[in-house]
């Protein structure tokens, strides 16, 4: 049940990230055409592209985390025993949880400090831009926690 929810959330963010990248590419293509063919540049294009790109990167971390592709140590762990691989995987999960959790917490603090800061043209509050990073990091930390629990459960089953 929980695995299905986590997989669904991962798939939703994968699609959302892909859509944001697609919209960024299309928007920039239209902006280039407008600027060089029609001599009518789109002033807000850079801001929107930046916001969509930052959100796409933050959201792309979630499916990478679910697929265990965000942090890979295969070169080193392939030479280890099964117990060494498990210990290494657990250590990576714990370190990633701590780093992502700390980054999310600091992002929340940054969101509070950016209360009145807005983008120059569209007046988009930077809180919304920072929120995408907080969402991505928090969701990834939760998925790492899920993986850690599953690895601990598997290690207990193997030991029995």
60-71: pLDDT as tens digits: 999 988 888 766
HSE-up of 159 (CA within 13 Å, CB side)? 8
Q: What is the pTM of this model?
A: 0.82
pLDDT band, residue 120 (cuts 50/70/90) = confident
pLDDT in the model for residue 159: 65
For helices 82-113 and 126-159, the axis angle rounded to 10 degrees is 160
Give the per-residue pLDDT at 2.
84
- Mean pLDDT (the chain) is 89
Residue range 89-117, pLDDT digits in tens: 888 889 999 999 999 999 999 999 988 89
């Amino acid at each position: 049940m929980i695995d299905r929810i986590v997989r669904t959330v991962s798939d939703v963010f994968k699609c959302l990230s892909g859509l944001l990248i697609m919209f960024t590419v299309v928007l920039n293509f239209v902006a280039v055409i407008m600027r060089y063919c029609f001599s009518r540049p789109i002033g807000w294009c850079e801001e929107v592209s930046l916001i969509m790109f930052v959100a796409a990167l933050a959201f792309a971390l979630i499916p990478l985390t679910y697929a265990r592709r965000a942090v890979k140590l295969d070169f080193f762990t392939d030479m280890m025993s099964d117990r060494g691989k498990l210990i290494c995987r657990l250590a990576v999960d714990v370190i990633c949880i701590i780093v992502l959790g700390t980054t999310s917490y600091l992002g929340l603090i940054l969101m509070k400090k950016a209360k009145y800061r807005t983008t120059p043209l569209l007046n988009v509050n930077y809180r919304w831009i920072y929120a995408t990073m907080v969402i991505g990091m928090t969701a990834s930390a939760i998925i790492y926690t899920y993986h850690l629990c599953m690895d601990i459960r598997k290690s207990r089953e193997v030991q029995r």
